[in-house]
A and B are shown apart, each in its own frame.
Chain A
Amino acid sequence: MSKSSYAIILVIALLVVALLYTPAEKRTDGKVNLTYWTGWTGHELEVQRKLVARFNREHPNIRVRILSVAGSYQKVRIAFAGGSTPDVCSAIWADELAGYAIRGVLTPLDTFMKEYGRSGDEFMPGVWRMLSFRGRPYGLCSTTNSTFIVYNKGIFRRSGLDPERHPRTLAELDRAAELTTAYNADGTFKRYGLRPSSLVFWAYVFGGKWYDEKTGRIAANDPRNVEALRWMVSYAQRYDITRMEAFEQTFGSIQTVSGPFFVGKMAMWTTGEWAEEHMRRYAPKVEWGYFAAPPPPGGRRNTCTVGGSVFVIPAACKHKKEAWEFLNWICGPEAVKEFCLSIGNIPPLKSVAAEPEFQNRPLYKFAIELAGGRNAFGPPPVPIWPQYAAEIARAEDYAMHGRRNPKQLLDEVTIKMQKELDRTLAAFRSR
Chain B
Amino acid sequence: MTHSLDWKKRRKLRVTVKEALQHLLLLAIGVSFMLPFYWLVATSLKPDAQVFQSPPAWLPHPIMWHNYPKALTYVPFARYLLNTLVICTLSVFGMLLSSSLVAYSFSKIRWPGRNIAFFILLSTLMLPGQVTMIPVFSIFKSLHWVDTIRPLVVPSFLGGAFYIFLLRQFFMTVPLELSDAAKIDGCSELDIYRRVVLPLAKPALATIALFTFIGAWNDFLGPLIYLNDDAKYTLSLGLQQFVSRHGAEWSMLMAASTVMTTPIVVLFFFAQKTFIQGITLTGIKG
Listed in ascending order, the chain A residues whose CB lies under 8 Å from chain B are 4, 11, 14-15, 17-19, 21-23, 35, 40-45, 65, 67-72, 74-75, 77-78, 81-84, 250-258, 274
In the assembled complex, the CB of A142 is this many whole angstroms from the nearest CB of chain B, namely 15
Instruction: Type the 1/0 row for B79-94, where 1 means its CB is closer than 8 Å to any CB of A.
Output: 0000000100110010
CA distance A45 to B89 in the complex (A): 31
Q: A15-B157, A41-B240 are in contact. Are A254 and B247 (CB under 8 A)?
A: yes
Which stretch in B34-42, B108-116, B178-186, B230-238 binds the other chain? B230-238
Closest to A69 in B: B224
Which stretch in B15-23, B133-141, B278-286 binds the other chain? B133-141
Q: Are A256 and B93 in contact (CB under 8 A)?
A: no
Q: Which of A67, A82, A256 contacts B230 (CB 8 A)?
A: A67
Instruction: For the A-B complex with A18-B149, A253-B51 known, give 18 more contacts whose Cβ atoms are closer than 8 Å.
Output: A4-B194, A17-B90, A18-B150, A18-B154, A21-B86, A21-B148, A42-B243, A44-B245, A68-B240, A70-B237, A74-B133, A75-B225, A82-B134, A84-B228, A250-B54, A252-B51, A253-B250, A255-B247
Q: Which of A18, A19, A251, A256 contacts B51 (CB 8 A)?
A: A256
Q: Are A81 and B134 in contact (CB under 8 A)?
A: yes
- A22: B residues at CB distance < 8 A: 148
Closest to A256 in B: B48
Q: Are A43 and B244 in contact (CB under 8 A)?
A: yes
CA distance A71 to B157 in the complex (A): 31
- B210: A residues at CB distance < 8 A: none
In the assembled complex, the CB of B195 is this many whole angstroms from the nearest CB of chain A, namely 10
Q: A41-B243, A67-B229, A71-B245 are in contact. Are A258 and B224 (CB under 8 A)?
A: no
Closest to A4 in B: B194
Listed in ascending order, the chain B residues whose CB lies under 8 Å from chain A are 48-49, 51-54, 86, 89-90, 93, 97, 133-134, 137-138, 141, 146, 148-150, 153-154, 157, 194, 221, 224-225, 228-232, 237, 240-250
- B246: A residues at CB distance < 8 A: 254-255, 274
- A45: B residues at CB distance < 8 A: 241
Q: Are A42 and B249 in contact (CB under 8 A)?
A: yes
Closest to A39 in B: B245
Please list the 9 inter-chain residue pairs (A to B) with the smallest Cβ-Cβ separation, ordered nearest first: A252-B52, A70-B240, A42-B244, A255-B247, A258-B52, A250-B54, A82-B137, A257-B49, A81-B134
Closest to B146 in A: A84
Q: Are A11 and B97 in contact (CB under 8 A)?
A: yes
- A254: B residues at CB distance < 8 A: 246-247
Pair count A-B, CB < 8 A: 111
27 A–B pairs (Cβ distance < 8 Å), ordered by A = A4-B194, A14-B89, A17-B90, A18-B90, A21-B86, A23-B229, A41-B243, A42-B243, A42-B249, A43-B244, A70-B243, A72-B224, A75-B225, A78-B137, A82-B137, A82-B146, A83-B138, A84-B146, A84-B228, A253-B52, A254-B246, A254-B247, A255-B48, A256-B52, A257-B48, A258-B54, A274-B246
CA distance A18 to B154 in the complex (A): 8
CA distance A258 to B56 in the complex (A): 11
In the assembled complex, the CB of A343 is this many whole angstroms from the nearest CB of chain B, namely 9
In the assembled complex, the CB of A39 is this many whole angstroms from the nearest CB of chain B, namely 8
In the assembled complex, the CB of B201 is this many whole angstroms from the nearest CB of chain A, namely 16
Q: Which of B89, B137, B240, B241 contacts A81 (CB 8 A)?
A: B137
- A70: B residues at CB distance < 8 A: 224, 237, 240-241, 243
- B248: A residues at CB distance < 8 A: 253, 255
Closest to B139 in A: A82
- B133: A residues at CB distance < 8 A: 74, 78
- B137: A residues at CB distance < 8 A: 78, 81-82
Q: Which of B93, B194, B229 contacts A14 (CB 8 A)?
A: B93
CA distance A251 to B49 in the complex (A): 12
CA distance A87 to B93 in the complex (A): 37
CA distance A274 to B49 in the complex (A): 19
- A258: B residues at CB distance < 8 A: 49, 51-54
CA distance A228 to B33 in the complex (A): 46
Q: Are B244 and A40 in contact (CB under 8 A)?
A: yes
- B243: A residues at CB distance < 8 A: 41-42, 70
Q: A252-B52, A256-B250 are in contact. Are A74 and B97 (CB under 8 A)?
A: no
Q: A74-B224, A78-B137 are in contact. Are A23 and B232 (CB under 8 A)?
A: yes
In the assembled complex, the CB of B222 is this many whole angstroms from the nearest CB of chain A, namely 11
CA distance A118 to B185 in the complex (A): 86
In the assembled complex, the CB of B105 is this many whole angstroms from the nearest CB of chain A, namely 18
- B51: A residues at CB distance < 8 A: 252-253, 256, 258
CA distance A131 to B242 in the complex (A): 29
- B224: A residues at CB distance < 8 A: 69-70, 72, 74-75
- A68: B residues at CB distance < 8 A: 230, 240-241
In the assembled complex, the CB of A150 is this many whole angstroms from the nearest CB of chain B, namely 15
- B225: A residues at CB distance < 8 A: 74-75, 78
- B52: A residues at CB distance < 8 A: 251-253, 256, 258
Q: Are B138 and A82 in contact (CB under 8 A)?
A: yes
- A78: B residues at CB distance < 8 A: 133-134, 137, 225
CA distance A41 to B53 in the complex (A): 26
CA distance A40 to B244 in the complex (A): 7
- A255: B residues at CB distance < 8 A: 48, 246-250
Closest to A83 in B: B141
CA distance A252 to B251 in the complex (A): 13
Q: Are B153 and A42 in contact (CB under 8 A)?
A: no
- B231: A residues at CB distance < 8 A: 23
Q: Are B149 and A21 in contact (CB under 8 A)?
A: yes
In the assembled complex, the CB of B250 is this many whole angstroms from the nearest CB of chain A, namely 6
- A77: B residues at CB distance < 8 A: 134
In the assembled complex, the CB of A279 is this many whole angstroms from the nearest CB of chain B, namely 14
CA distance A68 to B137 in the complex (A): 19
- B89: A residues at CB distance < 8 A: 14
